[in-house]
Structure formats: structure tokens, C-alpha cells
């Protein structure tokens, strides 16, 4: 598979941030009371992911290793500020609905995780596709959760009434905080079933291909990894 296509596939399916890696749970649970909120949050994060990966990859040989995390945060914060101003200017209602969760993209573990584990170790084009894949995967997850919650909680889809209130009684718990946990749990369970069936067919989705979060402190293979996938690092360690 082409490397760029593989990055898209990994982000959307195999390493989906929401349903596989369980990253970015704060906005996932907080803003998905409707599909449009989930879509808006996901696309905002995607834009920041793509451009932060691009810039970090471009400057990876210039940024000193000792200050790489502060440098990453400065880059991400600058991009988030631009995105926030654009949303306030052109989509004020959506910006007000998402509220503080737009500025909080700065510390989203998906953004910093991809910067640390992929963009800072790879060239520009694959890093861009990695950002697109992860961003679209995150957008897909948030939109699906928001869509289910909106349909069950209000009988609507993207703000349009699709279930007649003459026979459908909205289940209001789904547009409240507990509904986010219920819908997320059900969709993750569905994803797990799909992964198990794909694994049984010899096409495993259950084992991501490499380090996703950049959390080397909690990784048992950190001593031999150096940015490689776990399989590559272990194989290299055996030959030494």
C-alpha cells in the first residue's frame, strides 16, 4: 500500500483516535450533543492537525530536542488562534456552541501525540497525510456520536427534524452528559466486533502499526524504540 494512502487508512480505520485509541475524550463527550457540533469540532481539529504536522515536520531539524514540546505547543497554539478567529468571523453560532473546547485543541493529546511520534520524525508529505487521516478519523468519530445522540435525543439530523414528534418521543438523556457515555460505549463495542471479525479473516485492525501517542514514559519498548514501530524496534533489538 502506498505510504500516504496507508496513513489515511490508519487514521480513519486502524488507528481511529476515537474508537480505537480512545484519545481526545474530553471534546468527544462534551461537544457531541448534535452532529453539526461534532462535525465542526472534528474539522477544526483536522485543520490544526494538518498544518501543525506540516510545520513541525518542516522545522524538525531546526527545533532543539530539549525544547521540542514547548516549540510544538507554540506552533499549535498559533494555529488554534487563527482557526478560532476564522470561526468567530464566519461561523459565530458554531463557535459559541463549541465554546472553550476550540482553545483547548492546543492541549489535545491527538495533536501533540502526532507531532511527537510522527511529524517530528518524518518528511512533510507523509506528515500531512498523517494529519489528514487522524483528523478525518476524529471527525468521523465525533460526527457519528453526535448523529446518534441527536436522532435519539431530539429526532433530528443536522438540525433537520427527521422523526415526527407525533409518534416519536425524544429520549432527552441522549442530549445530556450521560448520553455521551452510553453512545460512545455502544459505538466502541460495535468497532470491537468489527475488529474481531476482521482479525478472524486475517485482516487485523486490533493492533495499531506503531507508537500513536508519543507517551514514551508509559511504553515498555521505549528503550529500543527511537521513533520506530514496536515491531521494528523489537526486531532491531534482537539482532544486537
**Domain spans of the chain, in order of start:** 3-209, 215-240
Q: What is the pTM of this model?
A: 0.81
Chain-centre distance for alpha carbon 202? 26
Point out the least confidently predicted range of 45-54, 72-81, 179-188, 229-238. 229-238
pLDDT at 194: 82
Residues 6+ away with beta carbon under 8 Å from 184: 18, 28, 29, 145
Q: Smallest Cα–Cα separation from 185: which of 19, 32, 41, 10?
A: 19
Q: Smallest Cα–Cα separation from 47: which of 74, 10, 82, 23?
A: 82
Is the CB of residue 74 less than 8 Å from the CB of residue 49? no
Torsion angle of the four alpha carbons 161, 163, 169, 174, in this order, in degrees rounded to the nearest 10: -70
> What's the whole-number mean pLDDT along residues 207-220?
45
Share of residues in the chain with pLDDT > 70 (%): 84
Is the CB of residue 124 less than 8 Å from the CB of residue 38? no
3-class SS of residue 17: coil
DSSP E strands, 128-168: 156-157, 160-161
Residue 229: pLDDT band by 50, 70, 90 thresholds? very low
Q: What DSSP character marks residue 24?
A: -
> What's the whole-number mean pLDDT along residues 4-33?
87
Task: Copy the grid coordinates of residue 139.
Answer: 471527525
Give the Cα separation of 106 and 108 in Å (integer): 6
* Model confidence at 6: pLDDT above 90: no
> What tens digit of pLDDT does each residue of 88-116 get?
999 999 999 898 899 989 888 899 889 88
Amino acid at each position: 500500500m502506498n505510504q500516504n494512502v496507508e496513513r489515511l487508512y490508519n487514521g480513519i480505520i486502524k488507528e481511529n483516535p476515537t474508537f480505537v485509541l480512545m484519545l481526545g475524550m474530553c471534546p468527544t463527550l462534551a461537544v457531541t450533543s448534535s452532529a453539526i457540533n461534532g462535525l465542526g469540532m472534528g474539522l477544526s481539529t483536522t485543520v490544526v492537525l494538518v498544518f501543525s504536522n506540516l510545520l513541525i515536520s518542516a522545522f524538525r531539524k531546526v527545533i532543539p530536542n530539549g525544547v521540542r514540546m514547548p516549540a510544538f505547543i507554540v506552533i499549535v497554539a498559533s494555529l488554534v488562534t487563527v482557526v478560532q478567529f476564522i470561526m468567530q468571523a464566519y461561523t459565530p453560532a458554531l463557535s459559541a456552541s463549541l465554546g472553550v473546547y476550540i482553545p483547548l485543541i492546543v492541549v489535545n493529546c491527538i495533536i501533540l501525540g502526532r507531532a511527537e511520534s510522527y511529524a517530528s520524525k518524518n518528511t512533510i508529505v507523509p506528515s500531512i497525510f498523517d494529519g489528514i487521516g487522524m483528523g478525518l478519523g476524529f471527525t468521523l468519530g465525533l460526527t457519528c456520536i453526535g448523529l446518534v445522540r441527536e436522532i435519539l435525543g431530539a429526532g433530528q439530523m443536522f438540525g433537520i427534524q427527521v422523526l415526527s414528534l407525533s409518534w416519536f418521543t425524544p429520549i432527552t438523556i441522549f442530549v445530556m452528559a450521560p448520553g455521551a457515555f452510553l453512545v460512545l460505549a455502544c459505538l466502541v463495542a460495535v468497532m470491537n466486533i468489527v475488529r474481531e471479525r476482521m482479525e478472524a479473516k486475517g485482516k487485523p485492525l486490533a493492533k495499531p502499526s506503531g507508537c500513536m501517542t508519543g507517551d514514551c514514559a508509559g511504553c515498555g519498548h521505549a528503550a529500543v524504540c527511537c521513533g520506530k514501530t514496536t515491531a521494528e524496534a523489537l526486531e532491531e533489538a534482537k539482532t544486537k
